[in-house]
């Protein structure tokens, strides 16, 4: 089928805007009439330096990032930052809010690198919710480490596999100004406004809402870079030594160009972000994301006898909408019929099954409307 005939709701890598890919296909062959494709240009050239600066500036504009933060582009995907944040916040005690499989994985990596004794799982949503994710436990049940210690609290703002999203910045974390907060925003970054000043570190793999796989963005408050323990202290305390490519300070000092950065990927992210700015920024994007997800949830809620949404209101993700379909073989049929009509990528994650709609920025309102109509029709034609 032609690209225009497919509405792809896959969880990631996600679709990129066709307009950006059309420009990219020219750029990869002959970037701005230089006779070289963009992936062939030196990352040290003025041309590439400007692309990195423009990408950083676009992210700063979109998220209104305060001046005392650095933005760095790295490689290795969201998972590499499960290790990255631990290496760069050495010496802090760690509280993990485990609300889905990605924060679970991040907490396991923290225990593996720093030792279990340094990691406190302050929330285990699976245990609290009868053995499955789908609900963020009430804040008064969180077992956060007491305030006298230097602590960072880690959470995953949007759990891609489980369809769980924090509706807002947690109140209990906002009350404790000393506590550093680290968030994985891989699957909801640039879908709503964020008060960056509340965070010590925000990271995101680019491949859902921003760009291509592998490129990773890290936003970090500068005083954290300045206060890192010296190598001598790390050695004396037996703390792990970060591999140089995980060292935020080194990358920030070198403007993300400590080694060969994949500039083509940075350029794609830049183009996506510049288009978002031109289209009204995150205020607009938040409005669109909300409208699309409201329509999809409403279509599912209209037929509760067949569709079982796996998350509870208040914890429901606008980006990943997860549900089960009651009835022998109906999930397979739902996916098969949808695919026939050009709606692909709807199968749930292999670890949990069911159906998952990924409603990222590149899903148009037309695409969300088409899927919502299909959800209603499918329920109508499979009434018991
Ligand atoms: N964090 C979240 C929230 C994700 O959704 C994903 C991937 O889907 C990751 C981390 C891991 O990203 P990567 O595959 O780029 O390592």
Q: Which of 222, 250, 277 corresponds to the end of one domain?
A: 277
pLDDT at residue 367 is higher than 80: yes
Query: Are both 257 and 323 inside the same structural domain?
Result: no
Query: Are both 166 and 108 inside the same structural domain?
Result: yes
The pLDDT of residue 148 is 79
Going from the Cα of 294 to the center of ligand 1, the distance in angstroms, rounded, reads: 24
| Residue closest to 207 by CA, chosen among 76, 93, 92, 337 | 76
Query: Are both 250 and 174 inside the same structural domain?
Result: yes
Mean pLDDT of the chain: 96
Going from the Cα of 382 to the center of ligand 1, the distance in angstroms, rounded, reads: 35
Over residues 157-170, the pLDDT tens digits come to: 999 999 999 999 99
The pLDDT of residue 384 is 67
Query: Are both 193 and 297 inside the same structural domain?
Result: no
Residue 376 burial (C-beta neighbours within 10 Å; 0-12, 13-18, 19+): middle
For tokens 């340094």, the residue is 118
Q: Which of 243, 277, 311 corresponds to the end of one domain?
A: 277
The pLDDT of residue 103 is 98
The pLDDT of residue 296 is 98
Residues with CB under 6 A from ligand 1: 12, 77-79, 102, 156, 160, 184, 186-187, 205
Task: Report the nearest atom of ligand 1 relative to the CA of 205.
Answer: 15
Q: Which of 277, 297, 315 corresponds to the end of one domain?
A: 277
Over residues 25-46, the pLDDT tens digits come to: 999 999 999 999 999 999 999 9
Over residues 131-141, the pLDDT tens digits come to: 999 999 999 99
The average pLDDT across 248-269 equals 97
The average pLDDT across 143-147 equals 91
Which residue segment(s) compose the domain that 305 sits in?
A: 282-381
The reply to whether 10 falls in a domain is: no
Reading the block at residue 282, the tokens are: 């995150």
Task: Report the nearest atom of ligand 1 relative to the CA of 156.
Answer: 3
Q: Whose CA is nearest to atom 12 of ligand 1?
A: 78
Query: Are both 246 and 300 inside the same structural domain?
Result: no
Going from the Cα of 239 to the center of ligand 1, the distance in angstroms, rounded, reads: 26
The pLDDT of residue 237 is 87
Going from the Cα of 252 to the center of ligand 1, the distance in angstroms, rounded, reads: 22
Contacts of 38 (CB under 8 A, 6+ apart): 27, 28, 31, 263, 264, 267
ipTM for this model: 0.99
Query: Are both 55 and 115 inside the same structural domain?
Result: yes
Going from the Cα of 367 to the center of ligand 1, the distance in angstroms, rounded, reads: 24
How many domains, in total, are found in the chain? 2
Report the alpha-carbon distance of residue 248 to residue 224 in Å, rounded. Answer: 10
The pLDDT of residue 285 is 98
The pLDDT of residue 294 is 98
Report the alpha-carbon distance of residue 62 to residue 76 in Å, rounded. Answer: 23
Task: Report the nearest atom of ligand 1 relative to the CA of 213.
Answer: 15
Over residues 83-132, the pLDDT tens digits come to: 999 999 988 999 999 999 999 999 999 999 999 999 999 999 999 999 99
Give the N- to C-terminal CA distance of the chain in Å, as an integer.
Answer: 34
Compute CA 146 distance to the chain's CA centroid, rounded to the nearest angstrom: 29
């Amino acid at each position: 089928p032609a690209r225009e005939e497919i509405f792809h709701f896959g969880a990631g890598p996600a679709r990129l805007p066709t307009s950006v890919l059309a420009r990219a296909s020219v750029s990869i062959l002959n970037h701005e009439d230089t006779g070289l494709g963009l992936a062939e240009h030196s990352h040290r050239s003025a041309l590439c330096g400007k692309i990195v600066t423009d990408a950083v500036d676009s992210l700063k504009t979109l998220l209104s990032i305060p001046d005392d933060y650095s933005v760095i582009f790295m490689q290795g995907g969201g998972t590499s930052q499960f290790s990255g944040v631990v290496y760069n916040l050495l010496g802090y005690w760690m509280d993990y809010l485990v609300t889905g499989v990605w924060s679970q994985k991040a907490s396991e990596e923290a225990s593996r690198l720093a030792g279990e004794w340094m990691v406190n799982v302050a929330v285990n949503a699976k245990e609290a919710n009868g053995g499955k994710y789908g609900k963020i436990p009430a804040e008064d049940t969180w077992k956060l480490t007491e305030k006298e210690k230097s602590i960072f609290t880690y959470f995953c703002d949007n759990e891609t596999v489980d369809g769980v999203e924090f509706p807002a910045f947690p109140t209990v974390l906002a009350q404790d100004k000393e506590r550093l907060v680290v968030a994985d925003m891989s699957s909801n970054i640039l879908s709503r406004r964020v008060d960056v000043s509340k965070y010590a570190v925000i990271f995101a793999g680019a491949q859902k809402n921003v760009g291509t796989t592998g490129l990773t963005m890290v936003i970090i408050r500068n005083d954290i870079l300045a206060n890192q323990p010296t190598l001598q202290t790390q050695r004396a305390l037996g703390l792990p030594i970060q591999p140089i490519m995980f060292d935020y300070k080194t990358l920030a000092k070198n403007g993300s160009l400590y080694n060969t950065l994949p500039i083509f990927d940075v350029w794609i992210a830049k183009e996506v972000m510049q288009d978002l700015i031109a289209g009204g920024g995150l205020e607009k994007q938040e409005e669109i994301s909300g409208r699309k997800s409201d329509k999809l949830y409403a279509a599912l809620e209209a037929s509760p006898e067949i569709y079982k949404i796996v998350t509870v209101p208040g914890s429901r993700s606008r980006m990943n909408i997860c549900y089960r379909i009651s009835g022998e073989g109906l999930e397979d049929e739902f996916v098969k019929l949808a695919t026939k009509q050009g709606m692909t990528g709807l199968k749930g994650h292999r670890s949990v099954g069911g159906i998952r709609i990924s409603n990222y920025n590149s899903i148009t309102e037309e695409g969300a409307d088409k899927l919502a109509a299909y959800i209603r029709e499918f329920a109508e034609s499979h009434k018991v």
